[in-house]
Amino acid sequence: MKIAMVGSGYVGLVSGACFADFGHDVVCIDKDPAKIDSLRAGIMPIFEPGLAELVTSNARSGRLSFTTDLAAGIAGAAAIFIAVGTPSRRGDGHADLSFVYAVAEEIGQHLTNDAVVVTKSTVPVGTGDEVERILSEAGLTVKFAVASNPEFLREGAAIDDFKHPDRIVIGTEDEWARSLMREVYRPLFLNKSPILFTSRRTSELIKYAANAFLAVKITFINEMADLCEKVGADVQDVSRGIGMDGRIGAKFLHAGPGYGGSCFPKDTLALLKTAEDYEAPTRIVEAVVKVNDARKRAMGRKVIDALGGADAARGKKVAMLGLTFKPNTDDMRDSPAIAIALALADAGVAVAAYDPEGMELAAPLMPGVEMKANAYAAIDGADACVIVTEWDAFRALDFARVKGLMNAPVLVDLRNIYDPAEVRAMGFAYSSVGRV
Ligand code: UDX
Summarize the confidence of residues 410-414 as an average pLDDT: 98
Cα of 109 vs centre of ligand 1, distance in Å, is 38
Q: What is the largest CA-CA distance in the chain?
A: 75
Give the orientation angle of helix 200-231 with respect to helix 264-277, to 10 degrees.
Answer: 120
Confidence of residue 249 (pLDDT cuts 50, 70, 90): very high
pTM assigned to the model: 0.95
67 phi/psi in degrees, rounded to 5: -155, 160
Count the neighbouring beta carbons within 10 Å of the beta carbon of residue 72. Answer: 13
- Choose the residue to mutate in 10, 207, 252, 326 for probing ligand 1, maximizing ligand atoms within 8 Å of C-beta: 326
Long-range contact pairs involving 107-110 (C-beta distance under 8 Å, separation at least 24): 107/6, 107/70, 107/74, 107/80, 107/82, 107/135, 107/138, 108/134, 108/135, 108/137, 108/138, 108/140, 109/71, 109/138, 110/70, 110/71, 110/74, 110/75
Euclidean distance between CA atoms 29 and 94, whole angstroms = 26
pLDDT digit string, tens, across residues 161-186:
999 999 999 999 999 999 999 999 99
pLDDT digit string, tens, across residues 41-79:
999 999 899 999 999 999 999 999 999 999 999 999 999
Does the beta carbon of 144 sit less than 6 angstroms from any atom of ligand 1?
Answer: no
Cα of 123 vs centre of ligand 1, distance in Å, is 18
pLDDT at 88 over 90: no
Confidence of residue 90 (pLDDT cuts 50, 70, 90): confident
Residue 200, CA distances (Å) to 16, 130, 173 in order: 22, 12, 7
Confidence of residue 91 (pLDDT cuts 50, 70, 90): confident
Nearest alpha carbon, ligand 1 atom 31? 254
Residue 9 is classified by DSSP as S
Residue 344 has what pLDDT? 98
Residue 346 is classified by DSSP as H
Cα of 229 vs centre of ligand 1, distance in Å, is 24
Residue 135 has what pLDDT? 98
Cα of 209 vs centre of ligand 1, distance in Å, is 14
Using the CB atoms, write b or e for 219-246: b if 16+ within 10 Å.
bbbbbbbeebbeeeebbbebbeebeeee
Q: Which atom of ligand 1 is nearest to the CA of 155?
A: 12
Does the beta carbon of 261 sit less than 6 angstroms from any atom of ligand 1?
Answer: yes
What residue type is assigned to position 162 of the chain?
F
Q: Which atom of ligand 1 is nearest to the CA of 261?
A: 11
Residue 215 has what pLDDT? 98
Q: Which atom of ligand 1 is nearest to the CA of 256?
A: 30
Does the beta carbon of 211 sit less than 6 angstroms from any atom of ligand 1?
Answer: yes
Residue 93 has what pLDDT? 82
Q: Which residue ranges form the domains of the chain, and what is each CATH number?
A: 2-198 (3.40.50.720), 208-289 (1.10.1040.10), 295-431 (3.40.50.720)
- Catalytic residues, by residue number, are 263
Nearest alpha carbon, ligand 1 atom 33? 252
Nearest alpha carbon, ligand 1 atom 9? 263
Non-local (6+) Cβ contacts of 221 within 8 A are 235, 238, 239, 252, 253, 254, 255, 434
352 phi/psi in degrees, rounded to 5: -115, 140
Nearest alpha carbon, ligand 1 atom 2? 154
Output 95 or 35, whichever has higher pLDDT.
Answer: 35
Cα of 260 vs centre of ligand 1, distance in Å, is 7
Nearest alpha carbon, ligand 1 atom 16? 154
